[in-house]
Amino acid sequence: MGNRDQKDRDLDSARTSDDQSWLTTQQGVRVETTDDSLTAGTRGPTLLEDFHAREKLTHFDHERIPERVVHARGAGAYGYFRPYDSRLRDYTAAEFLTDPSVTTPVFVRFSTVAGSRGSADTVRDVRGFATKFYTKQGNYDLVGNNMPVFFIQDGIKFPDFVHAVKPEPASEIPQAQSAHDTFWDFIWLHPESLHMVMWLMSDRALPRSYRMMQGFGVHTFRLVTREGKGTFVKFHWRPLLGTHSLVWDEVQRLAGADPDFNRRDLWEAIEAGEHPEFELGVQLVDESRADELDIDLLDPTKIIPEEVVPVEPVGRMVLDRNPQNFFAETEQIAFHTANVVPGIDFTNDPLLQARNFSYLDTQLIRLGGPNFSQLPINRPIAEVHTNQRDGYGQHTIHTHPTSYASNSIGGGCPMTMAQSQPPDDVFRHYTQRVEGEAARMRPESFRDHYSQARLFWNSMKEVEQGHIADAFSFELSKVGSTTIREGVLEHIVRIDPGLASKVADKLGLPAPRPEGIELHDRASAALSQVPPLAGFDNTAPTAATRRVAAVVCDDVDDVGITALASALSDAGATLDLVGPREGWLRGSSGERITATHGLHSTPSAVYDAIVVPGGAVAGLIEPGGPAKHFLLEAFLHQKPIAAFGEAADLLRRLGMSSAETSHVPVTDEEGVIVTNREGRELPEDFISTFLDAVAHHRAWGRDTTHTTA
């Protein structure tokens, strides 16, 4: 843990505590009062010599830095990474990937892409997943997303794409949405975006939690040995809690009820000791095999299906500490795709090449100058020795007599390869032959824009395909131009005629004819989030960290609730009591229970499952009762629902269960578990069946058309 401890010390040296201390100026001068300006007389003008007032106001005027153009809204956490073993030693000189005895401190920033800092967490959007590894060989940044591809193939289009997805220039709306004309105009005219758009229209764009979200390096990189041998690599992060999403109606509710839903979830989980864990995996492709693939590895709009090249797990990351100051840490952290260490290098991916220029340029304007790497959150644990001097934000007091190379006055330091035998861990660029005519063109292998979009569609289960069709219908319904709508439909029909027909019907447009279109039936089970997954474990069924709500009121079956709460706690889940009011309630046993949340302020969308106990709860849920909408929403969102005692028959009357209740726990394919038993007689298999339903996230087979509104 030595490296991690060192990073903690670096950060601690920059922290201050204002407890029991005197207020001073930034020069350390104690201040008499900070409530009144220095004036000429009690009613006279303020004097220019009031240095404290001027300093205080000047700092306030400058305490906001420009927000990121993209990925503006984020949340961060500290943690550590450790490789499982040394299996990558034959592929890379990067010690943090090859030495299982080395624990590397990390900082991860999750984010949305399109919205401003004030937008909601749960919008339909790509999510950033950027990791800074503070390694002994220098800082390495894996700047990824929760989707493995991107909208464009060449970085020269990046300003165009971002301008298109940002709010309309005249009205500055919509915020944090792609459902408007300029975005879809771009998509219509740039079919290379279609694969990414399929991901964006899928449930992957609505993650349940940052803790339940995959991450991808997007580009093909290179691992390089000390001897200079290269291997192509794609990086994958896989959450140990499984990959899970919200549904569209939920995100609408959450955007209003809790716009900080994902940020709050991450923060509270870490504070509660429920540390998010992610497994790092790699897809390795020998350079001699690259031409055997049916994609171009330099094309960032393509994936390598895991059935073709498996993802090999190589290490684990744990996030175990929240930042202490959002601005100083989460906001000021500066990621850069070109921050690499010995053993990791680039490829000629044209989007990656542009990012390698753009990220550094961005930090210079955001953080005020070239010394942003000296900020505590960006400072490496490796020693830094450069000839770079001065500039905005210079924290280092340089005392060395020279700032140039080569030199004799300073003893030749800092030395380079030309002056001394370099150590084994010096960075050496991968050696390759490069030649060709200077021209603005792309290889022919980049021109296939439909086959992987269809691969993604074929890989989705029926319920996921329905969500994608609904998403296209919603987004395009916000587009005013019929020309753009029809242009997008002409692309969709080349992905799947059935999808195009469904979307066209919702828009009141004729479906394009699929004439002369060749469609393949290839699929990848690794892309779906709905089990069964044919050998792939994306969902990782577990009830750990899940939030369950029990609807309560006076005279509720508190004994049964206590038994269920204990079982949920043992499984790592939590049970909240949600009542008609917050505070003390009287249980049927005569004991007091506490409703921690009120039905008036807490939508069911914030929970993963609902329990309806016996007792007087039926009165809350009958027509006109305050809990009926709470329960109905959860049912429509396909969440597990359990009922026991008197409440069991209530679900059948509401059309939420077709099962006849009995003393034996009954469930069906719709994920509703009921029993007439209550209190101390609550069957163990009732509880275990409910826990299993919670672990599987949703009842995807539920028919939601027969409820009584």
CA distances from 530 to 636, 639, 694, 698, 701 (A): 17, 14, 14, 9, 10
Tell me the two tokens of residue 708. Answer: 């009584």
What is the SS3 string spanning 448-514? CCCHHHHHHHHHCCHHHHHHHHHHHHHHHHCCCCHHHHHHHHHHHHHHCHHHHHHHHHHHCCCCCCC
Residue 670: both structure tokens together: 């719709």
Read out DSSP for 587-618?
BTTS-EEEE-EETTT--GGG-SEEEE-SBTTH
d(Cα 680, Cα 563) in Å, to the nearest integer? 8
- Residues catalogued as catalytic: 71, 145
- Looking at the DSSP bridge assignments, the partners of residue 135 are 138
Report how far Cα 241 is from the mean position of its chain's Cα atoms.
14
Cα–Cα distance between 499 and 488 in angstroms, integer? 12
The arrangement of strands across the sheet holding 609-612 comes to 597-598, 574-579, 547-551, 609-612, 641-644, 672-675
Pairing, β 312-321 against β 344-345: unpaired
Q: Which helix (H) or strand (E) holds 579?
A: strand 574-579
For residues 349 and 446, give the distance between their C-alpha atoms in angstroms, rounded to a whole number: 11
d(CA 583, CA 596): 6
Quote the CA–CA distance of 325 and 323 in Å, as a whole number: 6
H or E stretch covering 111? strand 104-112
Q: How far is CA 434 from the centre of its chain?
A: 37
Instruction: Say which amino acid occupies 298.
Output: L
How far is it, in rounded angstroms, from Cα 708 to Cα 215? 40
Torsion of CA 624, 630, 633, 639, to 10 degrees: -140
Distance CA(692)–CA(690), nearest Å, equals 5
